Amino acid sequence: MSNTLVTGSAGFIGSVLVKQLREAGHAVIEIDQPQGDISLQETLHPYLDKKIDHIFHLAGKTFVPESWQHPYGFYQVNVLGTVNILELCRKTGARLTYVSSYLYGEPDYLPVDENHPLKSYNPYSNTKMMAESACRFYSDNFQVPSVILRPFNAYGPGQPDKFLIGEIISKVMDSTVDTVEVMDLQPKRDYVYVDDLVRALVRSMDAKQGVYNIGSGYSKSVEEIILLVMKSAGIRKDYRSKGVSRPNEIYDLFADIRKAETGLGWKPEVSFEEGIIRCIREYSFNR
């Protein structure tokens, strides 16, 4: 069993990871707000003399629209914070799993594999690209072993309603909402259930260094999600698009996950339909 450290441990993904690690017998150190800001080196000083075998670095700013409004904070936390974690790895000898995402932009081909050109198309994705570069530099020059996972769109119970699936479920389930309105019905994305993503994170502890896509291998449109949520909830409502496209919108993207299947011994187990049912069940339980 390993001594692990998880940044972003109280977040949507981190809280599930911590639970699974402890259930598997691993010792877990948690770092999350308001414990400290990982962009400040002094936040990590208390951990320099601890025995740490593996660090899962999940902490960071993630909401893409906010990155357009407040880019500086994203660079500060997502880039400098990652360098600080790499320094902790260098000084303690810990191995790193870094969670990246949103790096492929408008795809040149589908499905997207790990060799696809990287494209920075919003401040958030740019910070992830820079953080990945730092991971590779520390691996090559400071012998810090690292595995980079690139999850596509993670979802599941407990995800904030500001993310698409939570937003749709809340609008469908809210009896005061007559019509489900979204910005755009067309964009299609690859969705991976949080428990499946966390299984991949745990598998990364023993994986060969490298980059791995984590997704379902297929995409669903916003309209398809609305229809599935209504079907699963037994509710029928009108729905419509506001006709508003986000800056640099991408209209279809899904992952080639063959490398994760061979390199991590991983594949998704929860179907999209089952995942949506679990989200609806959790929403109803909490209301």
Note the pLDDT of residue 190: 98
Check residue 112 and give its pLDDT.
Answer: 98
Q: Higher confidence at residue 34 or residue 200?
A: 200
pLDDT tens track for 58-113: 999 988 889 999 999 999 999 999 999 999 999 999 999 999 998 999 999 999 99
33-45: average pLDDT: 89
What residues are labeled active site?
124
Sign of the alpha-carbon torsion through 71, 136, 198, 256: positive
Residues 192 and 154 sit within 8 Å (Cβ to Cβ): yes
- 287 pLDDT exceeds 80? no
Within its chain, how far is the Cα of 144 from the centroid? Answer: 22
pLDDT computed for residue 192 by the predictor: 98
199: enclosing H helix or E strand: helix 194-203
Q: What is the DSSP string of 144-167?
A: --EEEEEE-EEE-TT--TTSHHHH
In this structure, the chain runs to a length of 287
Please, which pLDDT band fits residue 34 given cuts at 50, 70 and 90? confident
Q: Give CATH for domain 3-155+192-217+256-269.
A: 3.40.50.720
In angstroms, the CA 78 to CA 152 distance is 18
> Band of the pLDDT at 25, cuts 50, 70, 90?
very high
pLDDT tier for residue 1 given thresholds of 50, 70 and 90? confident
* Across 267-272, average pLDDT: 98
pLDDT attached to residue 286: 81
pTM higher than the cut 0.75:
yes
Q: Evaluate whether 73 touches 37 at the Cβ level (below 8 Å).
A: no
pLDDT digit string (tens) for 160-205? 888 999 999 999 999 999 999 999 999 999 999 999 999 999 999 9
Task: Give yes or no for residue 35 having a pLDDT over 90.
Answer: no
Whether the per-residue pLDDT at 49 is higher than 90: the answer is yes
pLDDT given at position 245? 86
> Over the stretch 195-249, which tens digit does the pLDDT of each residue have?
999 999 999 999 999 999 999 999 999 999 999 999 999 999 999 999 988 877 8
